[in-house]
Structure 1
Amino acid sequence: MIGLIAIIIVAAIAFIPGNETDNPASGVSDEAVSGGSNELASGDSNVSTSQGSDELVAAIGTHGGEPETGFNPITGWGYSREPLVQSTLFEKDSNGSLINDLATNYSVSDDGFTWTVDVRNDVKFHDGVPLTARDVAFTFNTAANSSGVDLSVLKNAVALDNYTVEFTLNDPQTTFIHKLAAVGIVPEHAYNETYGEHPIGSGPYRFVEWDKGQQAIFEANPDYYGQKPYFKKLTLLFMQSDTAFAAAKSGQVDVAEIPSSYANQKVDGMKIVSLSSIDARGITFPMQPDTGKKTENGYSIGNNVTSDPAIRKALNIGINRQTLIDGALNGQGEEEFTGVDKLPWGNKEAIFEDGKVDEAKKILADAGWEDTDSDGILEKNGTKAEFTLLYYSGAQERQALSVALSEEAKKLGINIKVEGKSWDEIDTLAHSTPVIFGFGTLDPTDLYLKYYSKSYDPANYNNIILYNNSVVDNYLRTAITSTDEDTANKNWQLAAWDGTTGFSEKGDATWLWIATINYMYIMDKDIDFGTPKIQPHGADIFGNILEWKRTEN
């Protein structure tokens, strides 16, 4: 059986000079750990934009943005982030360690298929109705039958009594604990098809109103069982980052997410802070050649360029990641080589030296790629070393990285054509065309879904490259089913590189990982936001909202 898994990540939060608006140990400063102000640029005066000191107005696109289906955890609201309105069974502290929230204890059967969780008996929903194990079971069973949350591992949940819930799994995945920390609990008695528009939960904030396309308002829950929030009213404005910065300058908001290009701006009474993250940007490489195969939806499978390991390896070692970060991200990021470099299951032996143009050219030449017509693009057997790279058209930072990567690739004789698309368009092309994605979570299941051969699920981009390596599969299965954390982490690491094979560049070079991005915010100088939690894909700026307060001017 496993206890509360302590995930100590010493470098996921750093105040150093990122930004992402999206659809998932080095560099930690003492200021970051203590929640220091990290004033990269600020003015001299100190003015508050709030109507009251205990009110907070925030334009935070990265906290999930405006949810299409409302503030409903079953359809994805707050997944792996602070849901504000709802409570979770477990949560994660600023070090990434799992701690109790609604849960008071849990146990796992010897075979790993049955999980039993004890629930607090002193919690009420915002309408005064007590929260019980029936609500927990209802939430997870309903979520498992929806498309908003991936709970495919869950067979069913049953309330054994008012304060004990039993989960039965389809597969003995020890990482199920992370699901229990990710899904907010909804009330069975008040859940219906319009719940997301008028949510009731047991969290630190009560829902007040939602003006679609504009804002959502929340008020502190006076009956909250945990620490009471300092800010009694929280208003979320739904703005793009450029607009949010303008709103901050004009005094309309207290906190705003901003683009990395604004790192050196000065605004009177405000400070600019930057949070490093585990949110990595990487590019998929379709692993199979194009043989005319189609998906069940008729989408093309395979790519005759990226299926060549020489192309994949050459790009991985030939590009200079720091150059991309300095240019495309204005320095707001850190180099990333495996997608999980900063995490306990990251394999440092899989990290390599990049920017080695000559070595990359040699790899290509040895594999038969040469420029026979002097156009600067290599060829092999009549095929040009060129491919299209897709990015989500709503993400400026992904566009910038894609364009910068294309320039780096030209040094190697590889031509990358960059195109922005909607997610619906990307869905039809991702089996045959490289895509720049964002991933970053404290749940190692993410590795399993990316690289395990049988995890293929295009709806969630699981193993979208159709990777199949039996040795890697064995490591991944051992890791996800192991009840010993050290054994699990060791096998996660071996899946990346065991000295002979793996999913990293040293092995099959399945992805081209580039960087983890920093999240940047501008906020009132007098806001003390405590010790931020580790920032995952999509950010979690309110993960420690109970620590936030105003200080004396």
Structure 2
Amino acid sequence: MNSNIYKKIKIIPKILTYKEKIVLSTLAALALASVAFIGMKWINRHSVFLAKNGGTYIEGAVGSPKAINPIFASANEIDNDITHLLFNGLFKNKNDEIVPDIATGLTVSEDKLTYTVKIRTDAIFHDLVPLTADDVVFTVETAQNETIRSSLYGTLHGVKIEKKDDSTVAFTLQQPFAPFPSLLTFGILPKHIWETVPIEAMRFAEANIKTPIGTGPFKIKRFKTNSLGIIKSYTLARNETYFQKPPYLNEIIIKFYPDSQTAIDALKNKNIDGLRSVPSSYQAIVTTKKTELTALSLTQYSAIFFNSEHNKQLSDVRIRKALASSINKTELVETALSGNGVIIDSPILPGFLGFNPSVKKYPYNPEEAEKLIAEAGWKKIKTGEKIAWQKGDDILKVGLTTVDSLETNSVLMFVRKQWEQIGVTVAPVIIPKEELAKSVIEPRDYDALLIGNNVGNDPDPYAFWHSSQIEVSGGVNLALYKNPK
């Protein structure tokens, strides 16, 4: 630096007043702070933050595991979540796209009926036994056995599987089905463990709970039970032999709680790091500066499915229209769901192929609902303080069934109140989640079923609305919709 300039700068403090020195110091500090702020923003913009290996995450879940087995898991949300950590399928959903998982290649025949899948040779189970085509064939054929009542039965019904060699299988369909690979995301079972288990005992086998073995990124390290032998927690350890990039976490601990309040208390007391889900009625309680609520948009919808075979009163379309028109959906979302929902009028979700925004809607109109019931030949009567509808000796009555959870119970009570306001007698039926498939869906034992339908990665409504899915075991055409075309 030029010596004359340096001397001039040096004498500045001597010629400034006290106030001028304060102002100059403040300006200098602000300038430095601005430079630091801009510098940090530049660093953040041009930096890539990488995850660090190690650590343990503790999650809470309400309920308990029933069968950590890909063949049964979809019937229980907890089982389904853990199964995805322990098992791999031929394909998987990655960012809403179906991509290979255990599969390494796929060939489709010209007639679109045969799908030949190549399997990777470096996938090994947690007990270090290699996965082969035999395991894939065993898993599919077991799921197709009607005796075990697998949730995959309807999906795989009529599909033929054949082993070509140790690393190749071929699926043959009865008719073309373009999204077929999206159905092959279920986990693969180890044949060497399960082939000795009698098929009728498979659902209750110890290997479902205490020693589930797959090929996934995590494996069971230990578990704890209560005095009744019910699982209290699992510790999952990183699978060091995983054929893909191992996860960053060393461990995941999953603790199970009997109800939402107990789980939320555990979160507030820092016994867990996170909760699998928080019912809308509890969200205000857990919202603090130290907690973060993440809302997920799911490819599923909840609806009420009418079974006119079970309740002949519902066979008249005017009654079904009346029930639909008597529900204030806007109020339902705001009150029963605390705003956590979007109103839809079609099983084809917005953004999916086939979505029609002009589909027939049934807006809230209780007067129109009562008019429709009267047109169907029912006469309004008084029963004490309430009104009802009578035709001959019959009273218009609908059983409303749902699974036992805070949110579905809240929705059921809301719908019950709205239907009773127009004079429809409602009989609520609340069942445990684990009994839904066996006790309700399979025997079609319901008048009206309030339930969520998981559309999955492909919008094809075949499984939920095709006529063939009414009688087939495991079929989920819950409305028993029939169309000869």
3-state SS in 2 of match to 1:438? strand
CA 1:420–1:74 in structure 2 vs 1: closer, same or farther (change >3 Å)? closer
Q: Which of these residues, 341, 349, 369, is aligned with residue 341 of structure 1? A: 349
- Specify the SS of the correspondent of 1:245: helix
2:311 corresponds, among 269, 282, 303, to 303
* Per-residue Cα deviation, 1:210-230 (whole angstroms, up to 9, x for no partner): 334201111111232323312
- Tell me the equivalent position of 1:512: none
Residue in 2 that maps onto 1:184: 187
Q: How many residues align?
A: 400
Match of residue 168 from structure 1: 172
Q: Which residue of 1 aligns with 2:70?
A: 73
Q: How far off is 1:278 after superposition?
A: 3.0
Deviation at 1:464, TM superposition (A): 4.7
Aligned partners of 1:166, 1:452: CA distance in 2, in Å? 25
Question: Contact between 2:59 and 2:253, CA under 8 Å: does it hold in 1?
Answer: yes
What is the CA–CA distance in structure 2 between the aligned matches of 1:255 and 1:126, rounded to whole Å?
A: 27
Is 2:468 the counterpart of 1:454? yes
- The counterpart of 2:263, out of the listed 244, 257, 260, is 244
Aligned to 1:545: none
The alignment's TM-score, normalised by the length of structure 2, stands at 0.74
- Corresponding residue for residue 124 of structure 2: 124
**Could you say what secondary structure the match of 1:244 adopts?**
helix
Alignment check: 8 A CA contact 1:158 1:167 kept: yes
1:277-356 aligned within 5 A: 277-288=298-309, 302-342=310-350, 343-350=352-359, 352-356=361-365
* CA deviations over 1:297-333 (Å, ceiling 9, x no partner): xxxxx32322221111122233211211222122222
Identify which of 260, 263, 283 aligns with 2:283: 263
**Shift of the alpha carbon at 1:81?**
8.1
- Name the Cα RMSD after superposition: 3.0
Alignment of 1:41-60 (within 5 A): 54-60=55-61
Q: Compute the displacement of 1:79 (Å).
A: 5.5
CA–CA separation in structure 1 for the residues paired with 2:294 and 2:282: 11
1:409 counterpart = 2:423: no
The amino acid of 1:280's aligned partner reads Y
- Aligned-partner Cα distance in 1 for 2:333–2:179: 32
Q: Name the SS of the counterpart of 2:408 in structure 1.
A: helix
2:425 paired with 1:387? no
**Cα offsets for 1:165-190 (capped at 9, x unmatched):** 11223444334322211x11223334
Q: Give 1:253's aligned amino acid.
A: I
Of the three residues 339, 357, 373, the one matched with 1:364 is 373
Pair member with larger Rg:
2
**Quick check: 1:287–1:467 contact (8 Å CA) kept in 2?**
no
Whether the 8 Å contact between 2:93 and 2:457 is mirrored in structure 1 is no
Instruction: Tell me the equivalent position of 2:91.
Output: 90
Pair 1:130–1:103, CA change in 2 (3 A):
same
1:207 aligns with 2:217: no
- Give the number of the structure with larger relative contact order, counting CA–CA contacts within 8 Å between residues 6 or more apart: 1
Percent identical pairs in the alignment equals: 26
8 Å CA contact 1:449, 1:456 repeated in 2:
no
Structure 1 position 205, deviation (Å): 0.8
Q: Per the alignment, do residues 271 and 396 of structure 1 end up closer, same or farther by CA in structure 2, a change over 3 Å counting?
A: same
Query: Residue type matched to 2:335 in 1?
Result: G
The match for 1:147 among 142, 146, 149 is 149
Q: Does 1:273 align with 2:291?
A: no
Question: Of Structure 1 and Structure 2, which has the larger fraction of its residues in helix?
Answer: 2
Say whether 1:468 aligns with 2:482. yes
TM-score (norm 1): 0.65
2:361 is aligned with what amino acid?
F
User: Structure 2 vs 1, CA of residues 186 and 255 (structure 1 numbering), >3 Å: closer, same or farther?
Assistant: same
Structure 2 counterpart of 1:67, which letter?
A: P
* Contact persistence 1:92–1:99 (CA under 8 A): yes
Q: Label 1:421 to 1:82 Cα distance change in 2 as closer, same or farther (>3 A).
A: closer
Match in the other structure for 2:211: 198
Would the aligned equivalents of 1:60 and 1:236 in 2 still touch at CA under 8 Å? yes
Specify the SS of the correspondent of 2:447: coil
CA contact (8 A) 1:371 1:379 kept: yes
Structure 2: segments with no counterpart, 5+ residues: 1-52, 198-205, 225-229
Which runs of no fewer than 5 residues in structure 1 stay unpaired? 1-51, 289-301, 475-553
Tell me by how many angstroms 1:408 deviates.
1.7
**C-alpha contact (below 8 Å) 1:79/1:184 kept by paired residues:** no
Mapped contact 2:381–2:387 kept (Cα < 8 A):
no
Matched, 1:396 2:406: yes
